[in-house]
Chain A
């Protein structure tokens, strides 16, 4: 108990308010976050909930997405959270090169989500298979054929949490998702 109290007292607030290079109009994460909250409020009432599906990634993208929830990035302060069930999700985050084995699971996950909903792809593999683009086991249809086109793609191998965060915030700030 004392260790916890000591550490939370002396370490203080770890969350970073750093400048994001990619978004000129609102240079601070905090600023973007405030704008974003308005967008999310108008669209979903309260907050944006994401459900992640790995369709054959190496695990690095997952590691970076998990990092978004750590105290340093703390994505939850903007009203964005990752949820355990597609039933609770507004958007589907897809990673990986889309293995043939995952086609059905991906479709079922998407179908289980209530509308309005949209798709975000994360990582180079999710775009064109990345290093596995010409593999025999990559599904012949793309993500777009199974769950509809992604309205945001975040490139990188893997994209860093900062890149994911700024892409997500920047995108939502400029182009509110259309209802599907």
Chain B
């Protein structure tokens, strides 16, 4: 393994004064720098580690040191490390130089920091609010500041949201949402079209904003694990694992192997049911009903398997800090293996059904292309990125429990709906294989399913899990045994801009299938 300190020296050579380097965990390096160096240091890390901004957030530390803190998280695949740049922003000058013009993946994070903390990203080209809609929320009220108090009615600032407009002869706009035709979350899509093809799509989200990060504050850790399960319902397990991992890293807790295998099985089960939902959704959105219903039965079977193993169809209540609540019995494992084999068999049928249907292939092939360069520039992550040829998967970067499983990273090159479908299909096969591998290991293990966790140590750490949609990140700061600040990043937050690019040049009737091929969460984005 290469030594990360070389990168820090390179950073120093750029003229950046490094105040402190904290490597409390081998997978994480926190580099404290001065505010005036923040912009330069972020640009350097972005290029040096060839990483998008994986997360960017602030914390209100005015009580302790009269300043806000700002963090920017990069992922180094080369060094297998999270690199977190941190700087203080004095409270008497609540502003920082914006990265958005240089690094697109920072843009939405900076808008979020601006509306939640009132810290001004200077030079940001787009200062519209994401979550706190102007129609219902006033200016100058920043929910994530510590002195913000919850109160009753507020006077909205009355401004209307300003959509980007495309002008020209024959251009027309099609507004869709927030309430959609299907049974899905709310979001507003503003299409500008010239004849059939879409020339611009602007996505306005935030409709399901529930103040998740504020609700996390002052929760006990056990309560917070339950909260994490309610952030994005289809990734309940991925979120709760990422949260637990953050706490476990901060408290230097060693999770027993048995718990890790069980967690890995649950994570792959979550991937399975969501991939079946995605495959079925793509079939449904081009009108291939039989395959769609076939996939919905497979999804239901995985949900029932979840229920059988954990008592919850959505794998809620499985995780606890230090491990899992309940060990699988031999009968559980037997049932798991039987059902997974049977589901894999049916998946082969489904795959054949779809890939041999000429009319189906005609609809998905070359539809909704997200180029690799666009995906990299936007910082698209997870499944959608892998379908565009970006070989990034946290299970590969930080193998941990996956080490020894010969985990196969699945990518496709073309970035169209078919590629995202193929990634799903191959990941289903890989997940089934992994589940069988983990179940075999689990059968031979005895002992505790959770580490003893007497007291939450104060501290902060980053937890990250490659859930089915992509990496789920939790940065948690613990104080007095409670959550002091919790930043949640669902992969949807990175990927919505990718969808807006993928649909360009396609016709509006193909939008549903493009959208479903990304299958992004409204709740996970809006928080």
Considering only residues 115-138 of chain A, those with a C-beta below 8 Å from chain B are: 130-132, 134-138
Q: Which residues from chain A contact B182 at a C-beta distance below 8 Å?
A: 84
Say whether B148 faces chain A, with CB atoms less than 8 Å apart. yes
Say whether A41 faces chain B, with CB atoms less than 8 Å apart. no
Surface stretch bound by B, among A17-25, A27-35, A95-103 = A95-103
Say whether B523 faces chain A, with CB atoms less than 8 Å apart. yes
Say whether A61 faces chain B, with CB atoms less than 8 Å apart. yes
Say whether B234 faces chain A, with CB atoms less than 8 Å apart. yes
Say whether A47 faces chain B, with CB atoms less than 8 Å apart. no
Considering only residues 56-75 of chain A, those with a C-beta below 8 Å from chain B are: 56-67, 69-72
Q: Which residues from chain B contact A67 at a C-beta distance below 8 Å?
A: 296, 299-300, 303
For B, the interface residue count at a CB cutoff of 8 angstroms equals 57
Say whether B341 faces chain A, with CB atoms less than 8 Å apart. no
Say whether A140 faces chain B, with CB atoms less than 8 Å apart. yes
Residue-wise, chain B 295-319 has the 8 Å CB interface mask toward A (1 for contact) of 0110110010000000001101000
In angstroms, Cα B183 to Cα A53, docked, is 8
Surface stretch bound by A, among B23-31, B93-101, B349-357, B443-451 = B349-357
Instruction: Report the minimal beta-carbon distance from A63 to chain B, rounded to whole angstroms.
Output: 6
Contact in complex: B290, A4 (CB < 8 Å)? yes
Say whether A158 faces chain B, with CB atoms less than 8 Å apart. yes
Q: Which residues from chain B contact A42 at a C-beta distance below 8 Å?
A: none
Q: Select the residue from B152, B210, B236, B521 with max chain A CB neighbours within 10 A.
A: B210
Main secondary structure of the interface of B (DSSP, over half): loop
| A3-B353, A66-B183 known; A59+B211 contact, CB < 8 A | no
Residue from the list B207, B214, B215, B352 in contact with A101, Cβ < 8 A: B207
Considering only residues 489-527 of chain B, those with a C-beta below 8 Å from chain A are: 521-523, 526
Contact in complex: B300, A72 (CB < 8 Å)? yes
Say whether A146 faces chain B, with CB atoms less than 8 Å apart. no
In angstroms, Cα B255 to Cα A119, docked, is 46
Residue-wise, chain A 90-110 has the 8 Å CB interface mask toward B (1 for contact) of 000000110111111100110
Instruction: Report the minimal beta-carbon distance from B76 to chain A, rounded to whole angstroms.
Output: 32
| A99-B207, A131-B227 known; A158+B143 contact, CB < 8 A | no
- Classify chain A: how many residues form its interface, as a range: 35 or more
Q: Which residues from chain A contact B316 at a C-beta distance below 8 Å?
A: 157
Contact in complex: B356, A3 (CB < 8 Å)? yes
Residue from the list A8, A59, A70, A100 in contact with B185, Cβ < 8 A: A59
**Quick one: closest A residue to B281, CB to CB?**
A66
Residue from the list B135, B179, B352, B523 in contact with A58, Cβ < 8 A: B523
Residue-wise, chain B 344-369 has the 8 Å CB interface mask toward A (1 for contact) of 00000100110010000000000000
In angstroms, Cα B316 to Cα A176, docked, is 35
Q: Which residues from chain B contact A14 at a C-beta distance below 8 Å?
A: 297
Contact in complex: A105, B186 (CB < 8 Å)? yes
Contact in complex: A134, B232 (CB < 8 Å)? no
| A7-B353, A135-B210 known; A105+B181 contact, CB < 8 A | no
Instruction: Report the minimal beta-carbon distance from B250 to chain A, rounded to whole angstroms.
Output: 23
Instruction: Report the minimal beta-carbon distance from B359 to chain A, rounded to whole angstroms.
Output: 11
Say whether B277 faces chain A, with CB atoms less than 8 Å apart. yes
In angstroms, Cα B297 to Cα A137, docked, is 37
Contact in complex: A56, B210 (CB < 8 Å)? yes
Say whether B162 faces chain A, with CB atoms less than 8 Å apart. no
Q: Which residues from chain B contact A137 at a C-beta distance below 8 Å?
A: 132, 143, 209-211
Residue from the list A52, A136, A157, A160 in contact with B211, Cβ < 8 A: A136
In angstroms, Cα B314 to Cα A157, docked, is 10
Contact in complex: B226, A131 (CB < 8 Å)? yes
Contact in complex: B233, A158 (CB < 8 Å)? yes
Q: List 24 A-B contacts (CB under 8 A).
A: A3-B356, A7-B353, A52-B183, A54-B186, A54-B208, A56-B523, A58-B230, A59-B233, A63-B234, A67-B299, A67-B300, A84-B182, A97-B210, A100-B133, A101-B133, A101-B208, A103-B136, A105-B207, A135-B214, A135-B215, A136-B151, A136-B211, A136-B214, A160-B313
Interface residues of A (CB under 8 A from B): 3-4, 6-8, 14, 52-67, 69-72, 82, 84-86, 96-97, 99-105, 108-109, 130-132, 134-138, 140, 157-158, 160
Interface residues of B (CB under 8 A from A): 132-133, 135-137, 143, 148, 150-153, 178-179, 181-186, 206-212, 214-215, 226-227, 230-234, 236, 277, 290-291, 293-294, 296-297, 299-300, 303, 313-314, 316, 349, 352-353, 356, 521-523, 526
Sample of 18 more A-B contacts, CB < 8 Å, known A131-B215, A132-B210, A138-B210: A3-B349, A54-B183, A54-B184, A54-B522, A56-B207, A56-B209, A57-B185, A57-B233, A59-B234, A60-B234, A71-B297, A99-B207, A100-B136, A100-B137, A103-B136, A108-B179, A109-B179, A136-B151
